[in-house]
């Protein structure tokens, strides 16, 4: 009953609201920025090489580290199970709409990351804190709305997304002989919960260290394997690309069963994967110490491309070129495993299992990093050690519960919660769009003059007194 209600809310939310809001916002920022996501991509890569700034003798979070934190959440089990599920439900055409979401969504990600930098605050511990809650309160003077956003994001990441990540992980073991549908999910969920809880109790610094190490390694390995699979199945690639394009514009399917169409599946799973516009990544973006907010905006654009154009496409190509068709009992991660088994033998399923373990782990840690930021905002400072310990134990318990839940329920919960975040965040960044775009003009003007851009609020006529830029 509850699952049916959530499914109906889900369909209504994405069909009549988020479809137009997401695509329209991405197109708006693309045009207004003169497609900065394309023009300034090289500059974004250059910024990644900049060293972290030092303040009061303490090395601050670099652009690269902030990118890894946000990518840790973006790059997760959704890149494997989520993409495979989208293709199984909406057909190969869903991949095209994921690409569209990446191209347009990167402009949205640029805007929200820039705003997070401009309006970030300095905590009592000396760290940077920011995100939608901070720019909602600072620019719109509406703390209640900011708190509502914080609560919705905590519900989305600490509960919805983490439960789904846990389920996706345990589902990869379903093809092994020891797997028992009644007990194995709970055993795997328990092990994952213990490991996650142990790491979380080590605090935010450990999260930064772990994600900075694991994310690049697992991403590169996954892409390399996908390239090998595509080389093996290269004869099928022209047919695969043809299906992706042709089925993306199957308007009969779109208008006949829109909720399950390639367009809608691609948009939903693309949003789940790259998170552009929902207001999550700006929390990590604000933690970086840079000389100009635009630098972090450009870096966060790259995270969207890394997630969707590289990792999601890698999954799609491996599945579609294998010749293995999805089925009712073969969706999500098991389909990816079957596809790789066809190309690489027994190594394929084993590799996907290892990748899912790493992807799930970094997703869980990245999600909880976000929650720390949000709780700091709600409490107007660092919550007590007792409270944080209790919250992290509950977060670990949620990981355990998610492993044994029903998958359609988990997807519906995640989609609805994610949609609520987007419905709050996107109108706000549209209202504040001129601030982000003026900052871009200031950055490009300084670059043209041969300077290393340094931001001051007076440069764009912003009267609001910030902690870092005034």
| CA distances from residue 103 to 37, 281, 308, 431, 438 in whole angstroms, order as listed | 8, 17, 9, 22, 22
pLDDT score, position 209 = 65
Structural domains in the chain plus CATH codes: 2-430 (1.20.1740.10)
Rounded to whole angstroms, how far apart are CA atoms 309 and 315?
10
pLDDT score, position 181 = 85
256 pLDDT above the threshold of 50: no
Name, in order, each residue with C-beta under 8 angstroms of 273's C-beta and a sequence gap of 6 or more: 74, 78, 79, 82, 83, 98, 307, 308, 312
Label residue 66 by pLDDT band (50, 70, 90).
low
Q: 63-67, 166-170, 358-362 — which is least confidently predicted?
A: 63-67
Tokens representing residue 412 in the block: 């519906």
Q: 63-72, 117-126, 149-158 — which is least confidently predicted?
A: 63-72
Q: 38-52, 200-214, 262-276 — which is least confidently predicted?
A: 200-214
DSSP code per residue over 276-330: TTTTSHHHHHTTS--SSHHHHHHHHHHHHIIIIIIIIHHHHHHHHTS-PPPBTTB
Return the biggest CA–CA distance within the chain. 66
Condensed to tens digits (0 to 9), the pLDDT of residues 371-384 reads: 877 888 898 877 88
Name, in order, each residue with C-beta under 8 angstroms of 22's C-beta and a sequence gap of 6 or more: 101, 104, 105, 108, 267, 271, 277, 422, 426
Condensed to tens digits (0 to 9), the pLDDT of residues 186-235 reads: 999 998 888 888 877 775 555 556 655 666 677 778 778 888 888 888 88
pLDDT score, position 272 = 63
Instruction: Give burial (CB, 10 Å; 0-12/13-18/19+) of 384.
Output: exposed
Q: What is the mean pLDDT of residues 23-50?
A: 89
8 A C-beta contact, residue 267 and residue 19: yes
* Closest C-alpha to 43, from 255, 237, 290: 290
8 A C-beta contact, residue 58 and residue 140: no
Q: What is the mean pLDDT of residues 448-465?
A: 88
Tokens representing residue 255 in the block: 């208008």
**Range of 14-23, 76-85, 269-278, 360-369 with top mean pLDDT:** 14-23
pLDDT score, position 73 = 52
Name, in order, each residue with C-beta under 8 angstroms of 209's C-beta and a sequence gap of 6 or more: none
| CA distances from residue 455 to 64, 435, 458 in whole angstroms, order as listed | 19, 12, 9
Cβ atoms within 10 Å of 115's Cβ, excluding its own: 32
Q: For the chain, what is the mean pLDDT?
A: 82
pLDDT score, position 257 = 45
Select the more confidently predicted residue: 150 or 84. Answer: 150
Name, in order, each residue with C-beta under 8 angstroms of 408's C-beta and a sequence gap of 6 or more: 3, 7
8 A C-beta contact, residue 7 and residue 412: yes
Label residue 164 by pLDDT band (50, 70, 90).
confident
> What is the 3-state secondary structure of 217-266?
HHHHHHHHHHHHHHHHCHHHHHHHHHHHHHHHCCHHHHHHCHHHCHHHHH
pLDDT score, position 255 = 42
* Closest C-alpha to 92, from 250, 310, 308: 250
| CA distances from residue 178 to 181, 182, 329, 349, 401 in whole angstroms, order as listed | 10, 12, 18, 15, 21
Select the more confidently predicted residue: 465 or 254. Answer: 465
Q: 44-58, 292-306, 414-428 — which is least confidently predicted?
A: 44-58
As a whole-number percent, the residues of the chain with pLDDT over 70 amount to: 85
pLDDT score, position 187 = 93
């Amino acid at each position: 009953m509850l699952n049916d209600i959530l499914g109906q809310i889900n369909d209504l939310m994405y069909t009549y609201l988020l479809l137009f809001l997401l695509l329209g916002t991405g197109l708006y920022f693309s045009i207004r920025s003169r497609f900065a996501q394309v023009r300034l991509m090289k500059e974004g890569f250059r910024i990644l090489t900049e060293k972290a700034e030092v303040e009061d003798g303490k090395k601050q979070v670099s652009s690269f580290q902030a990118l890894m934190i946000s990518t840790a959440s973006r790059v997760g089990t959704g890149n494997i199970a989520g993409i495979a599920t989208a293709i199984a439900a909406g057909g190969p055409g869903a991949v095209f709409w994921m690409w569209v979401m990446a191209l347009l969504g990167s402009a949205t990600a640029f805007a929200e990351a820039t705003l997070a930098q401009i309006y970030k605050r300095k905590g009592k511990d000396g760290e940077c804190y920011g995100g939608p809650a901070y720019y909602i309160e600072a620019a719109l003077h509406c703390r209640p709305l900011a708190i509502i956003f914080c609560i919705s994001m905590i519900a989305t990441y600490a509960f919805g997304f983490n439960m789904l990540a846990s389920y996706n992980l345990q589902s990869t073991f379903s093809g092994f002989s020891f797997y028992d549908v009644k007990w194995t999910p709970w055993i795997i969920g328990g092990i994952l919960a213990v490991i996650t809880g142990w790491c979380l109790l080590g605090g935010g610094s450990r999260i930064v260290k772990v994600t900075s190490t694991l994310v690049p390694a697992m991403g590169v390995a996954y892409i390399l394997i996908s390239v090998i699979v595509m080389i093996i199945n290269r004869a099928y690639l022209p047919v695969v690309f043809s299906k992706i394009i042709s089925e993306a514009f199957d308007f009969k399917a779109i208008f006949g069963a829109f909720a399950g169409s390639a367009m809608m599946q691609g948009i939903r799973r693309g949003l789940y994967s790259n998170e552009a516009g929902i207001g999550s990544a700006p929390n990590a973006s604000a933690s970086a110490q840079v000389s100009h907010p635009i630098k972090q905006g450009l870096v966060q654009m790259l995270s969207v491309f890394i997630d969707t154009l590289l990792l999601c496409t890698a999954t799609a190509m491996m599945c579609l070129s294998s010749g293995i068709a999805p089925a009712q009992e073969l969706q999500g991660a098991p389909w990816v495993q079957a596809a790789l088994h066809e190309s690489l033998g027994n190594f394929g399923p084993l590799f996907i299992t290892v990748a899912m373990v790493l992807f799930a782990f970094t997703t869980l840690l990245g999600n909880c990093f976000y929650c720390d930021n949000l709780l700091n905002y709600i409490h107007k400072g660092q919550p007590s050690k007792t409270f944080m310990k209790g919250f992290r134990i509950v977060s670990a318990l949620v990981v355990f519960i998610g492993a044994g839940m029903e998958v359609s329920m988990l997807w519906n919960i995640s989609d609805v919660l994610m949609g609520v975040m987007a419905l709050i965040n996107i109108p706000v960044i549209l209202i504040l769009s001129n601030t982000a775009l003026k900052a871009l003009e200031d950055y490009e003007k300084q670059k043209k003059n041969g300077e290393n851009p340094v931001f001051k609020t007076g440069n764009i006529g912003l009267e609001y007194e910030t902690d870092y830029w005034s």
